[in-house]
Amino acid sequence: MKQIRLQKFIADCGITSRRKAEVLIEEGRVEVNGKIIREMGVKVTSKDMVQVDGKLLDRDATDHLYLLLNKPRCVMTTVSDPEGRTTVIDLCKGINNHTRIYPVGRLDYLSEGLLMITNDGDFANMIMHPSYEVTKVYEVKVFGAVGEALLRKLRDGVKSKGEFLKPESVRIIKQLPTKTWLEFRLVEGKNREIRRICEECGVTIDKLRRVAIGNLSLDGIKPGDFTMVSKTEILRRIGIDKKGKKVSNEEYVSKKKSVNKSRRQKFKHSGLAADSEEYKIYKKENYSETMKGMKERNQALSTNQLS
């Protein structure tokens, strides 16, 4: 009878990813045949009785689900939130009541866009692993105008907290009078990578949304909605075969063209540079206070006009 590692067995049962299953084991929350297991390397078969937090697992009874969700802004990328905020699982109506699903990777609270959700722990572990080099595409609106020198700085990468962060590419896809839309392409996808790059370059982000993972995109999925897809289709569109081997570099091709220099010159004098100190009031840590002040000023102006 085939033996598999305990953390893989837990992942196959749809409880969590293999990496998080290892944490459950270390915390003493896993039992095999009535005995608490804390060490790695234990192997089990389908005849072994495996429990997590007292719940008996059945590997053969799990139907794997794969969802693509368009996460709205101000939604938590977690299974639950102690503060009672809406989570991505709350948006999966009709599914989250029947099986335990969880997000693959993260989008922070203020970010939006494409997010995979599944109950297939092995699949989640594979997609998150940097060795597969799955390209992720983001559209980022920043305050101010991005000139050639700043664009080169964003492309060349930065040092942040001991890590070197360098996007695969950065281009300008839309120029507004006082803001700029950029397209970032990432391969490694380190924690808060785009936000950290922009912070090091003195650039303040207004909006950040992920539009594609490999050749999977947001197309046809409204904010807050999701669509179900097959594992075969997901693997095909990110260039990985069923055995987990990278077979092609599938990438999303945007219909948005790069904004050329002459087009950007028209807006040169209509706004400040994106790395201007004046935009720091819109940074995440200052945003709430800034918006509150602006609202109070607008209310005061309205009151004065009426009087």
pLDDT tens string 179-198: 999 999 998 778 899 999 99
267-278 residue pLDDT tens: 555 568 898 888
pLDDT category of residue 61 using cuts at 50, 70 and 90: low
Domain ranges of the chain: 4-61, 63-132+218-255, 135-213+259-289
| Percentage of the residues of the chain whose pLDDT score is greater than 90 | 47
pTM beyond 0.85: the answer is no
Which range is least confidently modeled, 63-72, 95-104, 154-163?
A: 95-104
Lowest mean pLDDT among 14-18, 50-54, 184-188: 14-18
Domain boundaries 135-213+259-289, CATH class: alpha beta
- Respond yes or no: is residue 108 known to be catalytic: yes
Neighbours of 72 (CB within 10 A): 17
Closest to 110 measured CA to CA, from 290, 283, 252: 283
The answer to whether domain 4-61 and domain 135-213+259-289 are alike in fold is no
Instruction: Name the CATH superfamily housing domain 4-61.
Output: RNA-binding S4 domain (3.10.290.10)
- Tell me what the pLDDT averaged over the chain comes to: 85
For residue 28, is pLDDT > 70? yes
Q: What is the CATH number of domain 63-132+218-255?
A: 3.30.70.580
pLDDT digits (tens, 9 = 90+) for 203-253: 999 999 999 999 999 999 999 999 999 988 998 998 888 777 888 888 898
Query: Which position among 108, 219, 225, 241 bears the catalytic label?
Result: 108
